[in-house]
Amino acid sequence: MAARKRCAFSSLEVMLSILFVALTTVSITLIAVTITHSANTCSGPTPPPDQEPPFLIGVGRADCTGPPAELPLMGYANPQQTAAGIHTRLFSRAVIIDDGRRRVVFVTVDMGMISQRLRLEVLKALRVKYGEQYRQDNVVLSGTHTHSGPAGYFQYTLFMISSKGYLRSSIQPLVRGIVKSIDRAHSSVRPGRIYKNRGRLDASSVNRSPHSYRNNPQDERIKYDDNVDKDMVLLKFTDMDGDGIGLLSWFAVHAVSMKTTNRLVSSDNVGYAAYLMENHKNPTALPGQAAFVAAFSSSNLGDVSPNIRGPHCVNSGLACDYLNSSCPDGGTKECQAFGPGEDMFDSTRIIGLNIYRKARELYSNAAEEVTGFVRSAHQWVNMTDVAVHVNDTHVVSTCKPALGHSFAAGTTDGGGDLNFTQGAVEGDPFWDGIRDALLGQPSNQTQECHRPKPILFSTGEMNWPLPWHPEIIDVQILTVGSVAVVAVPGEMTTMAGRRLREAVQRELQSEGAFSDVDVVIAGLSNVYTHYITTYEEYQVQRYEGASTIFGPHTLSAYVLKFGDLARAIAQDKVGSVPPGPPPPFFQKNLFNLLPAAPVDSKPDNSTFGEVLVQVLPVYRQGDVVSVTFVAGNPRHSGDVRDQSFVAVEMHDNTSDSWTLVHTDASWETRFRWLKGPERRSNATVEWHIPTNAAVASYRIKHFGHYKSMKGLRPVITPYQGTSDVFRVSGSFYYR
């Protein structure tokens, strides 16, 4: 197939102007670098006539778990949902692809979403290390959308309020983990090949706003079998020997199998799929230690739920109201959607397993080689006033950011606490009155612009102590051969994503440089701007429409802006894309509402790490072991990356030694931290013994730190505790 495409392109001997935009905290420097490209790219070892030249490929993964205690979890905006332990650890996974001339980096991170602040801090750190090699135009950061990672990595007021502020202790491990994953990918770069595959995954996703979806034109809807995108797209990476080194895949589903009642840090369903795939490739490695990197990325998941049993009224068992997702008694709070499992852990397991199995199948069958060149284009856009020509005479515009009333209703995956319902196209005098008194009234212009959205928070008009929402956003596209990755700064609904993919495909193919391009949406990328619905879905004003913060024409503006980038890539003129206005990097008025963790205390005559509730002497495979220790606050453990609060060790009789078989990153362990009265706390470690666990003797350890005072000086001291030894026997017994 088109074996000379890549060289044919490079033999044009074009003069490439690449604009490096160097971001510093005080100034923006624009340096134009001109690279004369010649046919030399095709020199070097001549590939066999039937083989394309390889890419250079690097993969890397790093722990980015933040403090697993007291910080709010990012996603449901539920102030009661603060971290209290670890279910699974959070990882950043990076892929670097280089065609010999240009390089792109795609990073997917087990977190709710990438914030502008996080991205700017990562880019700053990359610049210090790598100069101009990794920049805002060739690095995409995307969040998996787990709702069970620590919050506090935002610089805009709305998010700071729901995160207890801008928390250094939260953003630092994310920056360091992301950069470390890129470091590892960078140092592992080697010649390799890429294969792509695509396949349908059923029984893992449903549309949670079908009423909005049905408002899209019928002649558009009939083009699709489903009201969610069920295709997974996967890239397989191998070295030159054909050995697999990693994968990158996209599938549209919310990582919300774990509910608002969960208090454990967790990478949710998508993270579990990555966990299983890495374990499959390197079965003897501990979680997070495998050489193989399985990077699973989010997509146009805006209206897509993993809670496939759908919503019903918890109190009555009846169906919820179709438009409002509310119940006759109890309103939105009672209308909840459920996953396929017995509980949220089981639902996470089932959805994660489904995603993993499909990825594994696509990976092993991937045969279509991706060849050609690598390109990237990026622009900062002020999204508050993008003009879109509907036709020759009619021009519409995006708006200053604002959230509608139905934003406060939440979704059937996690409802709001107050009496808001989805589908509100009229304000509520009670809440509007409170809003006007506390935060100010939305201007007539903003109200008019967002119609029919009744504005709850006119965030674009609220600037104290810092702007409540971003105005400058990133649009960015990476292409690798016939695959285009569209980095969307938010959550696009199914149909919004389809329209954007089609528009980008059209532009890429318009110049003949691309044929048969696969366009994928990488969701939750670069900066968070909530949701993006179609114009028609917006009219219904369910949660997603109410959260489309730049107004009814947001999607049209993205189609325009991403279209410009796609055309520039197709014409090989990315250097001529204006960089756009750089986003702010706030130094002042960031606030932190999370008090420092106090000194720890413990019961009289006990020590930190002492066992309070001991294990039983014998368990069977499939049982749950539980042991409780006197603990310190996990926040005193500082940067907890690459550590573990938990060790499950197996005794080896022949060598009379202990082998580490599970850490707190393991699916089988749950580390729960329970804060008690008088600054005392406990740590309970559960081990859900796998049914195939070796019959042997085991023990469980817990590691932590406690804080005390030496005079006026706080002192942090490490401690550890160990359970009694227990036996795990076979599971054959009467049930």
User: Which positions are catalytic?
Assistant: 305
Q: Which two tokens stand for residue 431?
A: 């809440």
DSSP state of 327: B
> Cα–Cα distance between 206 and 198 in angstroms, integer?
19
CB of 497 to Zn ion, least distance (A): 13
Which residue has 């440089």 as its token pair?
Answer: 513
d(CA 186, CA 96): 7
Using CA atoms, how far apart are residues 243 and 607, in angstroms rounded to an integer?
50
Nearest residue to Zn ion, by Cβ distance, number only: 491
- Minimum CB separation of residue 473 from Zn ion in Å reads 17
- Our CB check for Zn ion shows the closer of 279 and 459 to be 459
What's the rounded Cα separation, in Å, for the pair 69 and 435? 32
428 versus 491: smaller Cβ distance to Zn ion:
491
We find the least distance from the C-beta atom of residue 9 to Zn ion, in angstroms, to be: 39
Distance, in Å, from the CA atom of 227 to the CA atom of 233, rounded to the nearest integer, reads 18
DSSP 151-187: -----SHHHHHHTTB--HHHHHHHHHHHHHHHHHHHH
Of 78 and 379, which CB lies nearer to Zn ion in the complex structure? 78
The dihedral through the CA atoms of 670, 350, 195, 295 has a sign that is: negative
**Integer Cα distance of 267 and 286 in angstroms:** 16
Q: Measured between alpha carbons, how far is 492 from 475 in angstroms, rounded to an integer? A: 14
How far is the first Cα of the chain from the last one, in angstroms, to the nearest whole number? 60
Spatial distance between the Cα atoms of 65 and 82, rounded to a whole number of angstroms: 15
Q: Is 99 helix (H, G, I), strand (E, B) or coil?
A: coil
Distances (CA, A) of 652 to 282, 284, 321, 538, 660: 22, 16, 59, 62, 11
- Nearer to Zn ion by Cβ, of 491 and 518: the residue is 491
The footprint of Zn ion on residues 538-567 (CB under 5 A) is: none
Helix axes 494-510, 554-570, angle to 10 degrees: 30
Q: How far apart are CA 169 and CA 699, in angstroms?
A: 32
Total chain residues near Zn ion (CB under 5 A): 1
Per CB under 5 A, which of residues 503..522 are in contact with Zn ion?
none
Site for Zn ion in 458-497 (CB under 5 A): 491
Locate the DSSP E strands across 574-668.
Answer: 611-613, 618-620, 624-631, 646-652, 657-663
CB 144 within 8 A of CB 88: no
Give the C-alpha separation, 633 to 707, whole Å.
8
- 41 Cβ contact partners less than 8 Å away, ≥ 6 residues apart: 7, 10, 100, 101
Shortest Å distance, C-beta 680 to Zn ion: 37
Rounded CA gap, 590 and 154, in Å?
A: 9
Pair 296, 255: CB distance under 8 Å? no
Closest separation in Å from C-beta 455 to Zn ion: 21
- Nearest approach, Cβ of 593 to Zn ion (angstroms)? 24
For residues 474 and 491, which CB has a smaller minimum distance to Zn ion in the complex?
491
Minimum Å gap between C-beta 490 and Zn ion is: 9
* Three-state SS at 709: strand
Least Å distance, CB 145 to Zn ion, is 6
Least distance to Zn ion from the beta carbon of 380, Å? 24
Smallest gap from Cβ 109 to Zn ion, in A, equals: 15
Separation CA 220–CA 340 (nearest Å): 30
Rounded Cα gap, residues 448 and 454, in angstroms: 10
- Per-residue DSSP letter, 208: S
Minimum CB–partner distance for residue 381 and Zn ion (Å): 22
d(CA 425, CA 422): 9
CA-closest candidate to residue 196, choices 70, 372, 329:
372
Nearer to Zn ion, 121 or 491 (CB): 491
* Smallest separation (angstroms) from Zn ion to the CB of 631: 33
Q: What is residue 530's DSSP assignment?
A: B
CB-wise, 113 or 594, nearer to Zn ion? Answer: 113
| Residue 268 or 491 having the CB closest to Zn ion | 491
Q: Name the residue type at position 383.
A: M
- Whether residue 419 contacts residue 327, with contact meaning beta carbons closer than 8 Å, is answered with no
**In the stretch 228-247, what mask flags binding to Zn ion with x, by CB under 5 A?**
--------------------
* Spatial CA neighbour of 302 closest among 53, 494, 119: 494
What is the distance between the alpha carbons of residues 75 and 73, in angstroms, rounded to a whole number? 6
DSSP state of 509: H
Residues within the interface to Zn ion (CB under 5 A) = 491
